Amino acid sequence: MKRFIGFVKKEFLHIFRDYRTLIILFGIPTAQILIFGFAVSNEIKNAGVAFLDLSKDEITQKLTNKIISSGFFRETEKLVNYNDIDRIFKKGKTKAVIVFEDNFGQKLKKEGTATVNIVADGSEPNVATLVTNYSMAIVNDFNMDLNRLGLSDVMLIQPEVRMFYNPNLKSHFMFVPGVITLILILICALMTSVAITREKEFGTMEVLLVSPLKPVQIILGKVMPYFILSFVNVILILLLSWFVFELPVKGSLILLLAESMLYILMSLSLGILISILSKTMQQAIFISLIGLMLPTILLSGFIFPIENMPKIYDYVSMILPPRYFIIIIKSIMIKGTGFLHIWKETIIICVMTLIFIGISIRKFRVRL
């Protein structure tokens, strides 16, 4: 029995000396419960909303203040005319526009009814549904306040909902861009990291390094097939989305393919970095899956809006490349925007690519 207890103590000491095992046992469950607990939410907080007030009377001002003071929305801009709606949606910071018709207050008092239009960004169906539901609930509550004040029993503000870019709120407007983002980073980063660590683990990397090929040529030869196959994947998904889901590319197809190639290059450079930092294929697979799949799904804005999360998750998502590619691909495919609306995200992905490549080259030379 003493021998068995001694053996168990030895195993405990072995586990405590290995920081990787401790991270798996305690770090990952803690991170997952925090991410799922705070990031996965069906509520909205601080969603951007703009106002197009064509009446500018006391009633519209009170309703505007009630919407903003609810805590669910924050005002992004006051619009002047209907042409501003498309412009502000293309910026990506506004989720809905509240439109008050001409002579809103006078019409409400004389006819007993007035219409407020809630125009939502349908490129994100889940967010659009939540925003419109919350807005309509606030308008209905405002109607109750009017009746409670005894101003009139027949006053009724009727909300009408419209969806920009996605009138029918089809879910594939959200899933197709997200799937492209997820597939590209997983195939490029995961498969590239495994391909190089396989050579290191089997001891054949040294054979390659003593060959006439230079190290840069070896790395390029490893990643080139995945670059081509990933680009074929992009074209295949776009064709399926067009013919099966009737989701055409509203913007420039050339710009979309160019941005996809940049994202593929970034993912490949990330995979190379993972392969250099990993000693075995198991480590590379673990880092790629845990470190890329869940953050891409949960913290990139693919499914759950980043605005609903605590501020710390907003900062964490800033270092995730999928967050910026999601914005790029939705802007081009669904909103039909040009390069002027996505240049910031493009520069960020370029900088990330250069950083990953620079660190990989430096670490690779040290290992040589």
Q: Return the pLDDT at 261.
A: 92
What integer is the mean pLDDT of 200-216? 66
Residue that wins the pLDDT comparison between 30 and 113: 113
Predicted local distance difference test score (pLDDT) of residue 124: 83
pLDDT score, position 254: 92
**pLDDT number for residue 325:** 93
Q: What is the pLDDT of residues 95-135, one digit of tens each?
A: 899 998 888 888 888 878 888 899 998 888 888 888 888 88
Strand partners, 116: 100, 159
Q: How far does Cα 159 stand from its chain's mean position?
A: 29
Give backbone dihedrals phi and psi of 164, rounded to 5 degrees, phi first.
Answer: -85, 140
pLDDT of 145 higher than 50 = yes
Fill in the amino acid letter for 348.
I
Q: What percent of the chain has pLDDT over 90?
A: 8
Give the model's pLDDT for residue 367: 47
Domain 47-164 falls in which CATH fold? abc type-2 transporter like fold (3.40.1710)
Higher pLDDT, 205 or 284: 284
pLDDT band for position 203 (50/70/90)? low
Distance CA 351, CA 269 (A): 12
Instruction: Pick the more confident residue, 45 or 62.
Output: 62
Please state, in angstroms and as integers, the Cα–Cα distance from residue 142 to each residue in 113, 138, 158, 167, 322, following that order: 13, 6, 11, 27, 40
Confidence of residue 366 (pLDDT cuts 50, 70, 90): very low
pLDDT tens column, 74-88: 888 888 888 888 888
pLDDT at 108 (0 to 100): 81
> Whose CA is closest to 263, among 316, 176, 189?
189
Q: What is the mean pLDDT of the chain?
A: 80
Tokens linked to 71: 């805590």
Token readout for 135 is 């807005």
Q: Where in the chain is the domain with CATH 3.40.1710.10?
A: 47-164
